[in-house]
Amino acid sequence: MKLSSTFIALALAAVSFASPAARAGSGYVQTSGQAFTLDGAPYTVYGENSYWVGLSGYSTDQMNQAFSDIAATGGTTVRTWGFNDVNSTTASDHPVYYQYFDGKNITVNTGANGLANFDNVVAAAKANNIKLIVTLTNNWGDYGGMDVYVNSILGYGQPHDYFYSNPDVIAAYKNYVKAFVSRYANEPTIFGWELANEPRCGGSTPASSGTCTTKTITTWIQDISSYIKTVDSNHLVGLGDEGWFNWANSTSDWTSNGSNGIDFDANLAISSIDFGTFHLYPGTWQESSPSYDQWGQTWIQNHRNSQVTANKPVLLEEFGVTVSQDQTQTYNDWYSTAINGGLSGVIIWQAGSNYSSGNSPDDGFTVYPGTDAYNVVKTFSAEIKKRDGTS
Ligand SMILES: *[C@@H]1O[C@H](CO)[C@@H](O)[C@H](O)[C@H]1NC(C)=O
Ligand SMILES: *[C@@H]1O[C@H](CO)[C@@H](O)[C@H](O)[C@H]1NC(C)=O
Ligand SMILES: *[C@@H]1O[C@H](CO)[C@@H](O)[C@H](O)[C@H]1NC(C)=O
Ligand SMILES: *[C@@H]1O[C@H](CO)[C@@H](O)[C@H](O)[C@H]1NC(C)=O
Ligand SMILES: *[C@@H]1O[C@H](CO)[C@@H](O)[C@H](O)[C@H]1NC(C)=O
């Protein structure tokens, strides 16, 4: 889509830097208005997701290849999972796990197949000059997440959304957050923490209290994000959500009427939330009007408007369409809309590596080296670095 020149001028003004020198030498990524900085200079947030690099028993060589494949596209920042919750420690089922739930007896695994494995992920990222956005639990059932807390602590079949409101569950999650975050509090390779992947009132299990609203989750975000700041004041904190709006003028559009329990603007206004996050999957969301591509461009622009209003950075931190959904053209248009429009940063779902033992996981959106999508990712890393003056 062609942007109006006024829109571009406003956008470029928005990404300039207020007083970067004031924060020189911290070693940690910081925010300055709608931009990110590192040691007083602009820091470009651009890269890929690799949820899998620390989860499935990849060797340190494979971790290194994962990050070097991303670095070869010009990536600076990778989003990954900092959770892996299990209720059985059978090694064949769980070669790596970070937390074991034996009913209410919950143990953080700091061993070689636990957080020591995540230490290797951090070292491999650092060796490739990559910083990590680490997400601390999952709305969905993959790798444990919220339902393991609820089921283990409150009993099977209890509502998913009790994760946000039950005091015992909240205490257990804070205990994990403290163990994980404090381990890396002085590690500059960490870009920042995210509270959860795609938090919603509803989850992978059908059970719901019927009482969860945007206020329920906003209150939880205030509590957990301010708690993280007490454990680790060095790193940025974001949410990790899909970016649903709760617009007063929207009644019959589930992406903007608050029905998932997320109010993007209210959450971005929380003082202990440093940056906003949103995702974009119009194919999965069945948003094809007027096309997946166009719907996505509007979604990006709407979040960029919120970025300006809040005067905080906002990241498009997951997106995908399949090859059959006009992938290359769509990615070109979305990257252009985000970068030329002044969105703070962009991270695609998801990185892929071709290992000699076989490829990393493919969910239909994986960007493997040597593919058309990989070349698009590479092309736009140069564009965003030019915009930010970081090339
Ligand atoms: C572990 O969780 C699964 C669901 O994820 C459940 O079916 C199973 O009963 C649980 N096992 C134990 C020992 O709690
Ligand atoms: C809790 O789990 C840990 C680790 O599995 C175990 O060593 C400990 O004995 C358990 N405590 C209770 C009270 O079951
Ligand atoms: C609804 O409100 C949002 C947020 O203020 C605004 O961006 C959007 O244009 C409005 N939509 C309509 C149809 O008025
Ligand atoms: C939001 O819109 C969806 C349709 O997209 C509808 O099913 C739902 O009932 C609406 N929810 C609210 C709270 O308005
Ligand atoms: C990696 O695997 C993908 C998917 O099979 C393939 O399309 C691509 O060509 C492979 N890349 C290389 C460099 O072998």
pLDDT tens series, the chain, 391 aa: 233 333 333 344 444 444 444 444 579 999 999 999 999 999 999 999 999 999 989 999 999 999 999 999 999 999 999 999 999 999 888 999 999 999 999 999 999 999 999 999 999 999 999 999 999 999 999 999 999 999 999 999 999 999 999 999 999 999 999 999 999 999 999 999 999 999 999 999 999 999 999 999 999 999 999 999 999 999 999 999 999 999 999 999 999 999 999 999 999 999 999 999 999 999 999 999 999 999 999 999 999 999 999 999 999 999 999 999 999 999 999 999 999 999 999 999 999 999 999 999 999 999 999 999 999 999 999 999 999 999 9
Q: Which two tokens stand for residue 304?
A: 């960029």
Q: How far apart are the CA of 343 and the centre of ligand 5, in A?
A: 31
* Pocket lined around ligand 2, Cβ cut-off 6 Å: 102, 105, 107
Q: Which ligand ends up closest to the CA of 88? A: 1
Could you tell me if 350 and 48 are in contact, meaning their C-beta atoms sit under 8 angstroms apart?
yes
Residue nearest to atom 8 of ligand 3 (CA): 249
Q: Is the CB of 87 under 6 A from ligand 1?
A: yes
Q: Which two tokens stand for residue 282?
A: 């119009």
Q: Hunting for tokens 């991303």 — which residue is that?
A: 70
Q: How far apart are the CA of 14 and the centre of ligand 3, in A?
A: 21
Q: Which of 48, 187, 194, 198 is catalytic?
A: 198
Q: Domain of 89: which CATH number? A: 3.20.20.80
Total domains in the chain come to 1
Domain residues for the domain of 29 are 5-388
Query: In this structure, which amino acid lies at residue 243?
Result: G
Give me the pLDDT at residue 91, please: 86
Per the confidence metrics, is the pTM higher than 0.85? yes
Q: Is the CB of 359 under 6 A from ligand 5?
A: yes
DSSP letters of 53-98?
TTTS---HHHHHHHHHHHHTTT--EEEEE---EES---TTT-SS-S
Q: Which ligand ends up closest to the CA of 86? A: 1
- For the chain, give the number of residues: 391
Q: Is the CB of 257 under 6 A from ligand 1?
A: no
Q: Which two tokens stand for residue 339?
A: 């970068």
Q: How far apart are the CA of 284 and the centre of ligand 5, in A?
A: 24
198 catalytic? Reply is yes
Give me the pLDDT at residue 2, please: 31
Q: Is the CB of 253 under 6 A from ligand 4?
A: yes
Q: Is the CB of 257 under 6 A from ligand 4?
A: yes
